Amino acid sequence: MISKLHIDRAHLRHQLKQMLRIRRFEEKCAELYALEKIRGFLHLYIGEEAVAVGVMSVLSADDQVVATYREHGHALARGVSMGSILAEMYGRTTGCSRGRGGSMHLFDRATHFYGGNAIVGGGLPLATGLALANKKMQRLALTACFFGEGAVAEGEFHESLNLAALWQLPVLFICENNNYAMGTALTLSESETNIARKADSYGIAAAQVDGMNVVDVEAATLEATEFIHKHQKPYLLECKTYRFRGHSSFDSQLYREKEEIALWEAKGPVKQLVQWMRNNSHLLDSELDELEKEVEAEIQAAVRFAEAGEWEPVEDLYRDVYSPRQTNS
Amino acid sequence: MVSETMSYREALRAGLEEALIQDPRVFLMGEDVGRYGGCYAVSKGLLAQFGAERIIDTPLCESGFVGVGIGAALGGMRPIVEIMTVNFSLLAMDQIVNTAATLRHMSGGQFNVPLVIRMACGAGRQLAAQHSHSWENFYAHIPGLKVLSPATHSDARYMLGQALADPDPVLIFEHVMLLNEPGTVPENPDAPMDKALIRRLGTDISLMTYGGNLPKALAAAEQLQQDGVSAEVVDLRCLRPLDKTTLLESVSKTHRAVIIDEGWQTGSLAGEISAIIIEAGFWHLDAPVKRVCSAEVPIPYPRHLEQAALPQVEQIVATAKAVMEGR
């Protein structure tokens, strides 16, 4: 499987940098949240970076991405600019959604990034519909749909898988199984905890992958996308991952033990890749320092960009509820 | 102007046929719209004419296929999604309210959803409480949606095309009691879809209604005429946005108003229209505004109770006369 991937030192460095961008950016977001620069809900992706980075590095520029409310990592890995993401969280007009969506509703037309959806499972039919449009318009693009394992209990998961399989639509369902739907463990919410196996009943090909390993995720995604293009059918990828932080900023994490978190942190995606690269002489400490500095500079620039952004004038409150009036009736 | 006689159902089908012919991006999707011919036979024959790629039978999964419609609209298609009845649309309410209505706003104007959703609504066929309700009031509550109620054959024929030309999500409510009614369809639409129209001129009182209750209001106006009361009948046509101008102009002329709405009175559109008239037209009024709505019960099955629960011509006449008292 991995033989299909062109894994070299430069590529691994690139993947590491992408994961570092997400990790450090979100650490900064937590800080800014404490300073009340960012409000609303803030759902951090820390611990799950290998999933977004692994998947996005395989997608083409024409593919569409539908994400969840924990989507800063998806947006960054997809190529949405860090400044516009942070400005969105600040609620400024320079934000990627003009400040109208906030942390949970990042959108970006240029990179075909269709949200940012705060309704669990709500993005699954939408992604299926985008895939239907691709098929009908004979576009080669596929639609990648991220969702958490909590969404699997929603009817929309089952409705969407059924429709995608029934109509043979080019959609990649990516389950980010981090074990907890907010504070409810998978074993408490699903009778069948193997999510990939659920795809079987819809006749959908599926695979499970170590979501803490960016190379594995990338390899599995490559296989998935090749399958989708070749067979014009959906595919489900279950990435086993873990979020190191709470569900949101208001989570006191009463539902899990510190030892469990520590156990997962030991196999964290950034740590794991750094160790592997060091052991194989692919990364010098000085190079890691350099990457960190580049990332830090990007974050500083993003903060400056967000701070400098304009507030939308209140007169524009009604803007974008409806499209501009058409001249013809 | 050449007018053609057909049933309301045929007028709806003619609108669908035209939409499918005019734009290859248009497709119809819903439960039993194809092989079965549509639950209310509106789409009968379209599968044979346009094929299964454009007349798509869906499984029973309202949230799923409405969401697919939203995604397809985002992807550049022009889907028409049929939900069998408004009662089942509640299963898709998340997709309609949380996604279709919000995407443009939440994305800062980057994405709009050119989706049309059609559904049957209303009571009168003894289908009991899970097939007879009037939830259009719910949808008219939601910014980001447009809500249409074709009450005439002309609107049944042309509102779909107008809705498809709109870049935002539009919901069309087709009252089941109108389907078999014969009527005439002119060559062109009566007006833009979001304009209320005076369907009968009058000078003494304004009867304001929409959809399946328009024929009842018109019949009531005829009876009132025999008793020397000249009733004007206003067809709202579009429940969101409401054409306040036309409503207020009518009241400023007649100085009295009765609103007829098949929804329940509590929290109804009728209540909203009353408030609009009182807020902006109070000094034109010669009498309190009155409402004729459905009884506050789940619609019952037996015919006599069902009819007792719904707005009726006699009730409209009696209410109008009560408003006229003391003239």
- Give B61's contacts in chain A (Cβ within 8 Å): 155, 159, 162-163
Is residue A195 domain-resident? yes
Among residues B131, B117, B155, B134, which one has the least CA distance to residue B12? B155
> CA B70, CA B169: separation in Å to the nearest integer?
9
Q: Would you say residue A275 lies in a domain?
A: yes
Q: What is the pTM of this model?
A: 0.95
Which tokens belong to B300?
């019952």
Tell me whether residue A283 is in a domain: yes
**Residues of chain A found within 8 Å of residue B197, distances taken between Cβ atoms:** none
List the 37-96 stretch of A: residues with Cβ below 8 A of B.
64, 95-96
Chain B residues closer than 8 Å to A165 by CB: none
pLDDT tens digits, A247-303: 988 888 999 999 999 999 999 999 999 999 999 999 999 999 999 999 999 999 999
Q: Which tokens go with A16?
A: 């590491």
Interface test with chain A among B54, B107, B159, by most A beta carbons within 10 Å = B107
Q: For the segment B76-125, what is each residue's pLDDT rounded down to a tens digit?
A: 999 999 999 999 999 999 999 999 999 999 999 999 999 999 999 999 99
CA distance B20 to A84: 40
C-alpha A303/C-alpha A294 separation (Å) is: 14
Taking only residues 117 to 176 of chain A, the set having a beta carbon closer than 8 angstroms to any beta carbon of chain B reads 117, 119, 122, 124-134, 136-137, 143, 155-156, 159-160, 162-163, 166
Going residue by residue through chain A (329 aa), what tens digit of pLDDT does each one get?
444 677 899 999 999 999 999 999 999 999 999 999 999 999 999 999 999 999 999 999 999 999 999 999 999 999 999 999 999 999 999 999 999 999 999 999 999 999 999 999 999 999 999 999 999 999 999 999 999 999 999 999 999 999 999 999 999 999 999 999 999 999 999 999 999 999 999 999 999 999 999 999 999 999 999 999 999 999 999 999 999 999 988 888 999 999 999 999 999 999 999 999 999 999 999 999 999 999 999 999 999 999 999 999 999 999 999 999 754 44
Q: What pLDDT is attached to residue B327?
A: 73
Do B79 and B29 contact (CB within 8 A), yes or no?
Answer: yes
Please confirm, yes or no, whether B174 is among the known catalytic residues.
Answer: no
Q: How far is A98 from chain B (nearest CA, A)?
A: 5
Contact flag A100-B143 (C-beta cutoff 8 Å) = no
Residue A129 lies in a domain: yes
Judge whether A322 lies within some domain.
no
Residue A121 lies in a domain: yes
Percent of chain A with pLDDT over 70: 98
* C-alpha to C-alpha distances, B91 to A118, B52, B80, nearest whole angstrom: 18, 25, 18
Residue B65 to residue A126, Cβ atoms within 8 A: no
Domain range holding A186?
Answer: 9-306
CB B157 within 8 A of CB B19: no
In A, minimum Cα distance to B56 occurs at A167
Is residue A175 a part of any domain in this protein? yes
Q: For chain A, what is the domain count?
A: 1
ipTM of the complex: 0.93
Q: Is B131 a catalytic residue?
A: yes
In a domain, A296, yes or no: yes
Strand intervals (E) in B112-268: 116-121, 146-148, 170-175, 182-185, 197-200, 205-209, 231-235, 238-240, 257-264
Residues of B in contact with A133 (CB under 8 A): 71-77
Looking at the partner chain, which of B74, B168, B189 has a beta carbon nearest the beta carbon of A130?
Answer: B74
Q: What is the CATH number of the domain that holds A148?
A: 3.40.50.970
